[in-house]
Amino acid sequence: MTTSHYIAGRWVEGQGSDCISVNDPALGQPFAELLAASVAQVDQAVAAARGALPAWKATNASERAAYLRGFAEQLGQRREALITLQMRNNGKPRHEAEIDLDDAIATFSYYAELAEQLPSKNRDVPLATPGFSARTRLEPVGVVGLIVPWNFPLVTSAWKLAPALAAGCSVVLKPSEVTPLIEQAYGQIADSLGLPAGVLNIVNGKAETGAALSNHSGLDKLSFTGSNSVGSQVMRSASAQCRPVTLELGGKSAIVVFDDCDVDQAVEWIVAGITWNAGQMCSATSRLLVQDGIATALLPRLQAALEKLRVGNPLAEEVDMGPLTSQAQWLKVASYFATAREEGLQCLAGGKVLDREGWFVSPTLYSDVPKDSRLWTEEIFGPVLCARRFATEEQAIAEANDSRFGLVATVCSADLERAERVADALEVGHVWINSVQAVFVETSWGGTKGSGIGRELGPWGLSAYQSVKHVTRCLG
């Protein structure tokens, strides 16, 4: 699989020095290899996007919407192949892989509709001062670099690619080196639809390729989803170019369970929030705050629910949770298990890697975790849940907000007025009330504090790729 880069409307062989090994995490074995793009090929991709920009941004909105609907339709036509690839390369259970694909399809369909609703290029602006007229234009921001992570490939790229194309931007997309194959579907679809050459470019690679793209002077904007450590490097690159960025980074999110909540329902919401995608989510609600009055009943049931989860190879059996996606992540989670033992944390469930082929760990629950524990404060990116008790609503809010992250939170309570009040007080970008983490394309996505800059999805996702221009004219 050497022709893994889509540049200027053509599939080309990688010319970089890195060889990317694509693994099946349920087996811990590679099933494909590809050569990374070279720095020169990143230059070619940016140049192709720059060359395609004038004509692409001049297309009318209905034409761009037609392309976006074509992406949605052809994703659906590739349904089984893409679902299987998500299962094989990410280790996702089938039901999760199906939701991923449906999410990507819905995103392209939604931004096709928004593209058709874009206002005309000029809109008059009323002025209080006589003798002048003013109009405003919404223009594409230009050539954008999109760097996406390995935990939700296809999905995160759709969240960026669809609004960028809808706005009239041209794109250079860099998938994660852990999951580089599935985004190739976007290049195949672009070919099939006759998308103008250079509007979409895809370059694969490791850190060298990512740095070449994020540092490139030919970009007008960069959108990155991933770790805080890499995000800070991306932000430094952007500052050197005085270039706008969208950053969707880490989280250490809280789920707050009040004592009026139905115990079984609460267990369902808690388990979903920490084991979906094997906990490899920036939005994982990995800090459980449970009120004193329900803790004694809740924690044993939660322990039993986690121990009952079927963990295994999603291509070989029906499972509730698959493996961690990479060996590096498996080793990282294992190191936190060791830290928990060193700290003397009380482990109610799991706390170990599983003795089988592949990169499996057990769903894990620690109770009464101190606030200064590394497991309470650091993003683990695995199915590791830490629990603490609280007495009052005020204490719950204070402890939930006591984090350098601010991506999401969940509130569980039969008292809906209280739930809404707590949701308003939480310092995060998205709150669920009495729900699993249902994410809808019409709503915004992004966080506060160390969880990033900007918003994706909804109309906010489109505006992230638009520039506002005003024209003022003297009438005298």
pLDDT of residue 123: 87
| Residue 456 DSSP symbol | B
Name the 3-class secondary structure at 378: coil
- b/e for 77-109, b at 16 or more Cβ within 10 A? eeeeebbebbbbbbbbbbebbbbbbebbbbbbb
pLDDT per residue, tens digit, the chain (476 aa), is 556 899 999 999 999 999 999 999 999 999 999 999 999 999 999 999 999 999 999 999 999 999 999 999 999 999 999 999 999 999 999 999 999 999 999 999 999 999 998 877 688 999 999 999 999 999 999 999 999 999 999 999 999 999 999 999 999 999 999 999 999 999 999 999 999 999 999 999 999 999 999 999 999 999 999 999 999 999 999 888 899 999 999 999 999 999 999 999 999 999 999 999 999 999 999 999 999 999 999 999 999 999 999 999 999 999 999 999 999 999 999 999 999 999 999 999 999 999 999 999 999 999 999 999 999 999 999 999 999 999 999 999 999 999 999 999 999 999 999 999 999 999 999 999 999 999 999 999 999 999 999 999 999 999 999 999 999 999 98
What are the angstrom distances between the C-alpha of 112 and each of 29, 161, 183, 417? 39, 12, 20, 37
The end-to-end CA distance of the chain, in Å, is: 65
Phi, psi of 310 (to 5 degrees): -85, 115
Dist. CA 197–CA 96, nearest whole Å: 33
| Domain 5-249+451-474 CATH class label | alpha beta
Burial of 196 (0-12, 13-18, 19+ CB in 10 A): middle
pLDDT at 25: 98
Domains 5-249+451-474 and 254-440 share a fold: no
Q: Which residues contact 434 (CB under 8 A, 6 or more apart)?
A: 261, 265, 269, 411, 412, 413, 419
The one-character DSSP state at 279 is G
416 and 391 Cβ atoms separated by less than 8 Å: no
Domain boundaries, the chain: 5-249+451-474, 254-440
Instruction: State residue 119's pLDDT score.
Output: 75
Q: Which residues are catalytic?
A: 248, 282
Angle at which helix 94-116 crosses helix 79-90, to 10 degrees, equals: 120
DSSP per position, 10-21:
EEE---SS-EEE
Provide the 3-class DSSP secondary structure of residue 404: coil
| CATH annotation of 254-440 | 3.40.309.10
pLDDT of residue 99: 98
Please give the full DSSP string across 109-125, using - where no structure is assigned: HHHHHHHHTPPPS-EE-
Label residue 242 exposed, middle or buried (CB < 10 Å: 0-12, 13-18, 19+): exposed
Contacts of residue 247, Cβ cutoff 8 Å, sequence gap at least 6: 223, 224, 225, 231, 234, 235, 452, 453, 454
Integer Cα distance of 456 and 467 in angstroms: 16
Q: Is 475 helix (H, G, I), strand (E, B) or coil?
A: coil
Give the strand pairing for 408-412 and 254-257.
parallel
**Beta strands 5-7; 10-12: pairing state:** antiparallel
141 — phi, psi (to 5°)?
-70, -25
The pLDDT value given to residue 118: 87
